[in-house]
């Protein structure tokens, strides 16, 4: 049974031959770009921030930066590729610190909503016969005081697509489909402002907001 994901479909849109080599022929490249490595470490740090908050612990900025640098050092290896010749590991590491600091200064003490979960896995059918399935993850699911659920998708790429694209395509669109199919949510109620980390700046992007039935 074919199981798709946002990253798989994006790869196919980018290059069908690359998709064939990776997922049809199972040819894997044991390399990682520094941008992906940076994004993973920032995601893990924000996950710790909200997971600790659910246990009534409010991390300080120093706590999060110490954790970020710890997991950076533990996971860094020489196979990680840096394409830009004028940049080093230290540049990207400092960039991640700036992202976390900017996010913290804007949202602390993180009481704008209640976190329902982080890194929530999804696996759901795309058709009535369950012949094709979709899987993915929600970076953070939260609920506001008015009962609205928000899906937060952190972005650390150099280029961020427009809000309409983020909302109606890719992982957010598939996530919306699953919540409307099986979740306690019935309709998209609108958008509210927040920001996601970006490698250039903190672009204003809104979480997808879903109202209870």
Q: What is the Cα–Cα distance from 11 to 176, expressed in whole angstroms?
A: 21
Contact 45, 68 (CB under 8 A): yes
Return the structure tokens found at 177: 């489909």
The answer on 200 and 133 residing in a single domain is yes
Number of domains into which the chain is organized: 2
Identify whether residues 144 and 102 lie together within a single domain. no
89-115 per-position pLDDT tens digit:
999 999 999 999 999 999 999 999 999
pLDDT, tens digit, 9 for 90 and up, residues 115-145? 999 998 877 777 788 787 878 788 898 988 8
- Same-domain status, 118 and 156: yes
Range of the domain at 74: 32-107
Name which of 130, 129, 136, 138 is nearest 4 in CA terms.
Answer: 136
Question: Both 126 and 100 in a single domain?
Answer: no
- Of the ranges 1-15, 50-64, 199-213, which one carries the lowest mean pLDDT score? 199-213
Tell me which of 177 and 82 has the higher pLDDT. 82
Q: What percent of the chain stands above pLDDT 70? A: 71
């Amino acid at each position: 049974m074919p199981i798709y994901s946002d990253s798989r479909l994006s790869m196919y849109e980018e290059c069908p031959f690359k998709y064939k080599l990776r997922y049809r022929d199972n040819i894997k490249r044991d390399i990682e770009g520094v941008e992906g490595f940076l994004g993973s470490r920032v995601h893990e740090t924000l996950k710790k921030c909200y997971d600790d908050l659910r246990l009534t612990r409010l991390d300080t900025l120093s706590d999060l930066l110490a954790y970020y640098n710890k997991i950076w050092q533990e996971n860094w290896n020489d196979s990680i590729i840096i394409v830009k010749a004028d940049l080093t590991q230290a540049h990207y590491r400092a960039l991640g610190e700036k992202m976390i600091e900017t996010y913290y200064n804007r949202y602390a003490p993180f009481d704008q909503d209640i976190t329902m979960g982080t890194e929530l896995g999804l696996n759901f059918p795309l058709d009535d016969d369950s012949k094709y399935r979709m899987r993915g993850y929600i970076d953070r699911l939260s609920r506001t005081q008015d009962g609205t659920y928000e899906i937060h998708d952190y972005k650390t790429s150099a280029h961020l697509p427009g809000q309409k694209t983020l909302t109606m395509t890719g992982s957010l669109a598939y996530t919306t489909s699953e919540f409307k199919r099986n979740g306690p949510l019935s309709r998209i109620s609108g958008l509210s402002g927040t920001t996601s980390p970006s490698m250039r700046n903190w672009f204003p992007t809104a979480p997808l907001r879903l109202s209870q039935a």
